[in-house]
Amino acid sequence: MAPHAWSFILIASCADKSSAIDASRRAALKSLAFTARPAAAAPLDKRPAAAAPLDAALSRRAALTLAFTAAAPLPAAAAPLDAALSLRADALRPLAGATCTAPATPPWLEGEYTVAASRFEGVSFPRGGAAPRQTAPGSRKGTLLLLPNVGANPRGYARAFDAALDGADARNAAATLKAFWPEASAATTTSSAGRTTLEFAAPTVSRGDRPQRIVAERLACAAEEPAPRSLVFAERVAQASGIVGDESLGLAGSWSAWHRYDAVDGGVREKLRVAVFDDRDVAGADERPLVVLEYAFFLKRK
């Protein structure tokens, strides 16, 4: 059985009681409680001899993602990046572009932080209904690099910003996984040239702890400073994840994320919006996101 299908299904205590999630959103979250195995999972081990299983899945997914992005109508190029943080969910499209050279981190943001507070602010399903495909990143615990357990509100873990915005990707991924999914253990992370690989052991529904892996490749990125001591960073990522050695449980897909950082007394506030796309849908098909996730964080400077 798939491990923890749709990670949105969490006990009520995962959402901050003060969070303004209305009754309909809570009902939508509950409606995701199904555990059927995907009908056509991405193979983990069908690969050329020289390639790692998830690397092969990621390469195929990256090619599909680029084709999907080229076919999809995008917002006007002149629109500021932070416009995506307030667009209707069904108007979001993957971040445009085909390259990513991580920008320099502004001096006011660079440094070491503790995530003093996190808040899950909601989920929406732009295509209607309440159960996107279980094959999308985020549909199970440990399958979305940025949010390994959607709906959880962890705090007290480390976050860092090096001189380049991607400089601490590996450290941040490992710390985020452990905070969002405490049962995960032995996390090791590598990051190079926009690709982050996160390996860990974590429980499954019926098979005990199993070795698992996420491979994420940043395909495009952009940054803007809409105001003094404010930064918007956007990224588009192709990702493959799965249980090592079990090809029936592989996931592959893509997502775009928009982060807004604002300096405040004692630290930085972050607003995060993640749109998960079905990039198998190409020209003429539904281009809206499968799901859009909203989070807010307060990063306390150490």
Q: Which sequence spans correspond to the domains of the chain?
A: 12-301
pLDDT at 283: 55
Tens of pLDDT along 277-288? Answer: 886 655 557 889
pLDDT at 67: 45
pLDDT at 132: 58
pLDDT at 227: 95
CA distance 54 to 204: 19
Please identify which residue in the block is written with the tokens 């983990």.
Answer: 44
pLDDT at 12: 34
pLDDT at 127: 87
Per-residue pLDDT of the chain (302 residues; tens, 9 = 90+): 444 444 544 333 334 434 443 443 343 333 333 223 333 333 333 333 334 455 555 555 554 444 444 444 444 444 789 999 999 999 999 998 888 888 899 999 999 999 999 999 999 999 886 555 566 788 888 889 999 999 999 999 999 999 999 999 999 999 999 999 999 988 899 998 889 999 999 988 777 788 999 999 999 999 999 999 999 999 999 999 888 877 556 788 899 999 999 999 999 999 999 999 886 655 557 889 999 999 999 999 99
